Structure 1
Amino acid sequence: GANAAGLKAFNDEHSTDIELGQVKYLNNIVEQDHRRVRQRTRPMLGFKTFMSAAKTIAGIEMMAMIKKGQVDIQGSSPFEQFYALAG
């Protein structure tokens, strides 16, 4: 409602042709980050214990953060960053 009206007003004022795309999860940052975890854990046959699941998922999320550049420990390599955070 309000977003569509605001976008239409902006398009009229600035002579642009911006369209509003509404896809439920593709624009959701949390779902985008969760995709990496699902891709890595789907081939596995599950986890034996909650502790192993928690540690594995934490490691996957840590590597994703390093890959996206959200963690930077003095310009070291991704392996050194992971080892410094995990150790």
Structure 2
Amino acid sequence: SKTRDHKAAKRFFKKALRSFHVSKPRVITVDKNPAYPIAIEQLKKEKSIPNGMRLRQQKYLNNIVEQDHRFIKKRIRSMLGLKSFATATSILSGVEAMHMIKKEQIALRDQSVQNQKEFIHQLFGLAA
């Protein structure tokens, strides 16, 4: 479709890789859209991404990431929309942090409530 062509894919990858919290990945996993390999090759020619970076097109691996977002989408949907970007940022950050704790995706000495509280305080710059 017109919205999923290689130019749009290239813009998406540039924007995603420009993000402050993203390092240069070794592998990018995407679905089977034919526009992605074209966009990645163009970015490699422009030296926007390293030549050694691999594009992995596998639907089921990408679905794992999408499934992880499902929990957060379910929590946000009940809030009936967020009124400002600042509100959305703070609420989503909190929901994602709690989701990470629940899934034990963070390295804590143990999963005690005290350690979880310290993680949240450190994450959001709160006084201990």
Same fold (TM > 0.5): yes
Q: Cα deviation per residue 1:4-41 (whole Å; 9 max; x = unaligned)?
A: xxxxxxxxxxxxxxxxxxxx679612111110111101
CA distance in 2, matches of 1:81, 1:58: 18
What's the C-alpha RMSD, in Å, of the aligned pairs?
A: 2.2
Structure with more of its chain in strand, by fraction: 2
**Shift in CA distance, 81/74, structure 1 to aligned 2, threshold 3 Å:** same
1:80 is displaced (CA, Å) by: 3.0
Unaligned runs of 5+ in 1: 1-23
CA distance in 1, matches of 2:116, 2:85: 22
- 2:73: which partner in 1? 38
CA distance in 1, matches of 2:62, 2:70: 12
Structure 2 counterparts to residues 13-32 of structure 1, below 5 A: 28-32=63-67
SS in 1 for 2:91: helix
TM-score (norm 1): 0.58
**Shift in CA distance, 81/39, structure 1 to aligned 2, threshold 3 Å:** farther
CA distance in 2, matches of 1:25, 1:45: 30
The count of aligned residue pairs is: 63
**Shift in CA distance, 38/83, structure 1 to aligned 2, threshold 3 Å:** same
- 2:85: which partner in 1? 50
1:82 is displaced (CA, Å) by: 3.7
| Aligned partners of 1:73 and 1:81 also within 8 Å | yes
Q: Percent identity?
A: 46
Work out whether 1:64 is the aligned partner of 2:99.
yes
CA distance in 1, matches of 2:117, 2:79: 23
Unaligned runs of 5+ in 2: 1-58, 122-128
